[in-house]
Amino acid sequence: MMRSLYTAASGMMAQQMNMDNISNNLDNVQSTGFKKSRIDFQDLLYATMKDPGTEATAGTQIGMGVRASSTERQFSQGSLQKTNNPYDVAIQGDGFFKVTMPDGSSAYTRDGSFKYDGAKQQITTSGGYPIGVTIPKDVTNIEVRPNGEIFGVRIDGDGSAEKIGQIKLTRFLNPAGLQAIGGNLYTETPVAGAKTEAEPGTNGMGCLAQGHLEKSNINVVEEMIAIVQAQRAFEMNQKGVQAADEMMSLTNQLQS
């Protein structure tokens, strides 16, 4: 009887983790470039009461419950929101912006809500991490073209636009293998596979859209349905614990 208690309890714990994941998805529905994640579940070991083939039967196996095996992030395209801010840039298609962390390592993001650091004359993320683009102080009318080329007009120039920088994108063979570290940033892992760095619009990279931001790919209705499903699954496992407890109580009464 104890087996049923632990089996039902494992289901409750799995659904609690499922709810934690759904809540995080809903919390970030307004986070720029956020990608939803889902939890994958696996059944646990089986207790074999009778081996298959014994007495010409398929055998007898009793499962030990369920566990959350992994979380998988889904990098489907989010819709674009027009902002008219020249430093807002969205990616239409595959690819990530590469940013430099304080320790010199690289991180990757889909969040294109960039800022201009006038002191360092650099374009940075909203967290202050540079993306490798420098814009002189005497340049105005910044234009980011779909291929990542950055043009501007010098204040003391002849009024014509000149190229002052280039934004490149990085593409991974398996983006779901990237590790989220918060701040809309991801770091590379061996599971992410080979990476390619190229200009937008080439080698399978997406194109850039200036004055736009990519919204999260969260579908609120789907997440609300997932909440109901998780709640019902949790309740059913809870009833399993209660039923097992009642059966144990009846067994103890018979023995006394």
Which residues are within 8 A (CB) of 127 and not within 5 positions of it... i.e. 6 or more apart?
183, 185
Q: What is the model's pLDDT at position 250?
A: 81
The string of pLDDT tens digits covering residues 193-218 is: 999 999 999 999 999 999 999 999 99
Q: How many residues does the chain have?
A: 256
pLDDT above 70: residue 256: no
Distance CA 85, CA 114 (A): 9
Query: What does the domain layout of the chain look like in residue ranges?
Result: 2-73+218-255, 80-214
Sign (positive/negative) of CA torsion 29, 21, 96, 134?
positive
Per-residue confidence band for 56, with pLDDT thresholds at 50, 70 and 90: low
The predicted-structure confidence for 26-41, as pLDDT tens digits, reads as follows 999 999 999 999 999 9
Q: Identity (one letter) of the amino acid at 208?
A: L
DSSP string for 48-100: EEE-TTGGGS--EEEE--EEEEEEEE--PPPPEEE---TTBEEEESS-EEEEE
